[in-house]
A and B are shown apart, each in its own frame.
Chain A
């Protein structure tokens, strides 16, 4: 069963848009639950996204994509 990678509502304060500044795993790579997989920058502060499950990563929003809280940026299946 696939698990969505969702930007948590408490990742930063406020509701401003942010940018995916780096994927730290490749599309199609195998990742372990809890591993750091992406960085998201909000107003020059970098926030971290950890893998919510173990499995194969599918990237849905590429580096440089503008995102908001609740967005699904990838999937682990």
Chain B
């Protein structure tokens, strides 16, 4: 019998990068502490030993320089995979990201490709303060020109990374720290799943229904998917059957899967660890409202991070974060008690 092969998201990411590097000499990796240390999230572990310092490059702490360099390398025929260690650091390098990386395909009339992957860690929950704990999914997804993906489990993490490296457009690959399998950042057993050894792609722009339900649709991404699955289990005991949609990609956004699910259930809760206003939650609700308001049997709800900088104090941060209890409470408000008729 085949050995079960569960991987953490960290291992799945490293495996995808290694396989693409073996197949394609133009793929290389750059970032802070990604070589000797193997990445502070474990997602480049083992790569230096196999590929050497020429292709696995530790950089100085200058995101402006190395992300700008990656854009140039990508336009010149390479396929860089670059890590922005914390997405919160985007402030110092955003010109390279959204004026160069995101726009140069358009500015060149399609004469340049920018086949690069920008990996960035997201999320909090481990008391690292407001400049190391943000998600800013909506910020990146809002600005045109970049694909944006965010895996919730190791299978999707590997397939999305493989697809991102092979893509001729820039892909922002946002991975939640709490799902990496690094204990001090939190652990989530549900993120560690069986992963085939051979290379495969998970199509960018396709959501997944990870749990089928009848009464309520919960849409989320990254760590929120695990909150949603736990909430769905609790709600089952109340006779409320919740469907869970894992967006997996924000750009392109798979609106069809969301609409199909809500057409079936008539109720919608969107869960996102990014800030409440002007973000992913509002976009999903707008998608449903624009399409068919009559599909909704109850006002949609969003569970997101309140519009405040993320607190350092554990009790305050935990109060602000989405969690299964908040989803359950919202669901009980919009679903009639005791197995509502469909």
* B187 contacts A32, C-beta separation under 8 Å: no
With most chain A CB atoms within 10 A of its CB, the pick from B42, B45, B183 is B183
Instruction: Report Cα–Cα, A21/B130, bound state, in Å.
Output: 25
Instruction: Report Cα–Cα, A51/B7, bound state, in Å.
Output: 15
A41 lies within 8 A of chain B by Cβ: yes
* In the complex, chain B residues 227-260 whose Cβ is within 8 Å of any chain A Cβ: none
**Shortest Cβ distance from A39 into chain B, in angstroms?**
7
* B181 contacts A22, C-beta separation under 8 Å: yes
Given contacts A21-B181, A21-B182, A41-B182, contact A31 B3 (CB under 8 A): yes
| List of B residues within 8 angstroms of A32 by Cβ | 3
Partner of A25, one of B6, B42, B184: B6
| List of A residues within 8 angstroms of B315 by Cβ | none
* B8 contacts A39, C-beta separation under 8 Å: yes
* In the complex, chain A residues 23-60 whose Cβ is within 8 Å of any chain B Cβ: 23-26, 29-32, 35, 39, 41, 44, 46
Instruction: Report Cα–Cα, A18/B42, bound state, in Å.
Output: 17
Instruction: Report Cα–Cα, A69/B127, bound state, in Å.
Output: 29
Partner of B187, one of A30, A44, A63: A63
| List of A residues within 8 angstroms of B187 by Cβ | 21-22, 63-64
* A23 contacts B6, C-beta separation under 8 Å: yes
**Shortest Cβ distance from B324 into chain A, in angstroms?**
17
| List of A residues within 8 angstroms of B192 by Cβ | 22-24
**Shortest Cβ distance from A21 into chain B, in angstroms?**
4
A6 lies within 8 A of chain B by Cβ: no
* B181 contacts A31, C-beta separation under 8 Å: no
* In the complex, chain B residues 28-67 whose Cβ is within 8 Å of any chain A Cβ: 42, 45
Instruction: Report Cα–Cα, A44/B45, bound state, in Å.
Output: 14
A19 lies within 8 A of chain B by Cβ: yes
* A24 contacts B7, C-beta separation under 8 Å: yes
Given contacts A24-B192, A39-B8, A46-B42, contact A19 B183 (CB under 8 A): yes
Given contacts A30-B1, A63-B187, A63-B189, contact A24 B6 (CB under 8 A): yes
**Shortest Cβ distance from A18 into chain B, in angstroms?**
9
